[in-house]
Amino acid sequence: MGETAGFPAFRASVADALSGTWQRDTFDHLVNTAGFGQMSMFEDTTEELFDKFMRVLLKGPYFLTQTLLPLMADGGAVVNVTSNSALSTGVEAGYSAYATMKGGLTVLTRYMAKEFSRRGIRVNAVAPGSTRTRISDDAFERFPEVIEPIEAKTAFGRVGEPEDIGMMIATLVSEESRWITAQSIEVSGGYGL
């Protein structure tokens, strides 16, 4: 996501796959979920790390969506995966740069929803809490001691699983969510309650 120069070639490969595999020239749903996480206190955040967060977490989804939008079917749906770190419920020290970009993606979601509405394309965001993924080089595997404090701050008493987030994304791209757009939905199991 941080290398926008490759997006036109990716678009061409998507168009080829649509035509060759599915005999169509459009797709219905785009989920911007690629990213990375890294803790860095405000005073220790380098300009290089800040720029990397910007490229991957905000610039990448912006320009990938722009590149793929001509291939998207009218009436489709986009879901941007943000983070509860950008919400008041998820503020934790060490994530100022990461959360700033995820917050920018939340704002971008509303603007995409506004501009894409003329084509009937819905755009929403999900803001996961701590979820057991491979982010941060498998942080939950490498640092299992962080799990218990996260569980203690979560109403449901556990860390999220990828399926918890995936079910919400599937709901947002489904026909049942046809009247929902420009929303950011926290999917954190009640983190901070």
Q: Counting Cβ atoms within 10 Å, is residue 70 exposed (0-12), middle (13-18) or buried (19+)?
A: exposed
Known catalytic residue at 98: yes
CB 162 within 8 A of CB 64: no
The pTM of the full predicted model, rounded to 2 decimals, is: 0.94
In the chain, what are the domains?
4-187 (3.40.50.720)
The number of residues in the chain equals 193
Asked if 44 and 93 count as a contact pair (C-beta separation under 8 A), the reply is: no
List, for residues 4-61, the tens digit of each pLDDT value: 999 999 999 999 999 999 999 999 999 999 888 888 999 999 999 999 999 999 999 9
Residue 29: strand pairing partners: 77
Taking the chain, what is the end-to-end CA distance rounded to the nearest angstrom? Answer: 33
Which sign, positive or negative, has the C-alpha torsion 67, 72, 77, 81? negative
Q: Return d(Cα 159, Cα 140) in angstroms, integer.
A: 10
- 95, 98, 111, 191: the active-site residue: 98
Q: Tens digits of per-residue pLDDT, 66-123?
A: 999 999 999 999 999 999 989 888 888 889 999 999 999 999 999 999 999 999 999 9
